Structure 1
């Protein structure tokens, strides 16, 4: 059996991801260049044997999975992006105009999710990936994948702030002996 690993793919570029707009529940399509990079991911992932392939229900993640060669990925709400509530569609500078110093990692998002709520969802993904061994592949979003990595490492959700994650990138988490580690990040 292959070592237990969790591979992460952030969706391709969208209009809002390029503009730095917080995008959770708004179901943005991929831009043409986002589709192109998603197709290119397929070549990087084709040679890897995945026991389980999961995707966020959002169109941008599902389409990235499809274009990468994983049209049959299991859809799970647990991989949805952090719900930003009243801050949906806003940029960080726009939010900071009324809440100085705001970050999703350190301040609440009115009518949105808390870090603890996001962590609880992503802990279920970690559990699923670890329970069967082998490699799991997850297609999702910038903040949710950063929280997922933090939780894999046994860190609080807020420590996802330490892990920059660009669109259409591949990251991998695994183990060194019994310690959870980052194998590759933002590649």
Structure 2
């Protein structure tokens, strides 16, 4: 059985300000670096075979910090880059609501293409790493889209607010991806209570 732990990247300054990032390449801030360290410490208790990451620096930095303690083979996959939100990137929720009240952002990536890209990525993981335990560091939009697809819309995009550095587990069994859990943050409780 192929098992994937989906990890949302740690916090960035834009996350803290409520700005949508998309493909804009923003680094982790100090809180995000600490969250990544806590993920790494928590994940040492389980055996993992490899770590896959989006190439955007907030995800890649998170994966690199996690991997400092795990020492796993490291793979970048473009299929798991965040959705491009076009003209809305860099805007806060309030700014987006005012500028684009219909939530149609000019020049954004088409939802169909986005979903297809993610499905291709999961297929590649299952084909290349069958029966492996995979850490996949990516983005809120990516993970929510995957969760939405696998739950037939019960959770995910528009319904679930994924926290930075949260963990969600899926596994491939009997020709289907199944959600085990999502948006797990117990490994971050100490840092969250200190804020």
TM-score interval, normalised by the smaller of the two chains:
0.7 to 0.9
Measure, in 1, the Cα distance between the counterparts of 2:134 and 2:121: 9
Determine if contact 1:50/1:137 at 8 Å carries over to the other structure.
Answer: yes
1:173-184 mapped onto 2 (5 Å cutoff): 173-174=170-171, 180-184=177-181
Gaps of 5+ in 2: 185-195
Cα RMSD after superposing both structures: 2.3
Determine if contact 2:151/2:179 at 8 Å carries over to the other structure.
Answer: no
1:92 CA drift (Å) = 2.3
Measure, in 2, the Cα distance between the counterparts of 1:95 and 1:56: 25
1:130-169 mapped onto 2 (5 Å cutoff): 130-131=126-127, 132-151=130-149, 153=150, 155=152, 160-169=157-166
TM-score (normalizing by structure 1): 0.84
Flag the structure with higher helix content.
2
TM-score (normalizing by structure 2): 0.81
Shift >3 Å, 4+ stretches: 175-180
1:65 CA drift (Å) = 0.5
1:168 CA drift (Å) = 1.0
Number of residue pairs matched? Answer: 178
Gaps of 5+ in 1: 103-107
1:128 aligns with 2:129: no
Match of 2:169 in 1: 172
Measure, in 2, the Cα distance between the counterparts of 1:78 and 1:177: 24
Which residue of 23, 39, 42 maps to 1:41? Answer: 39
Measure, in 2, the Cα distance between the counterparts of 1:37 and 1:75: 20
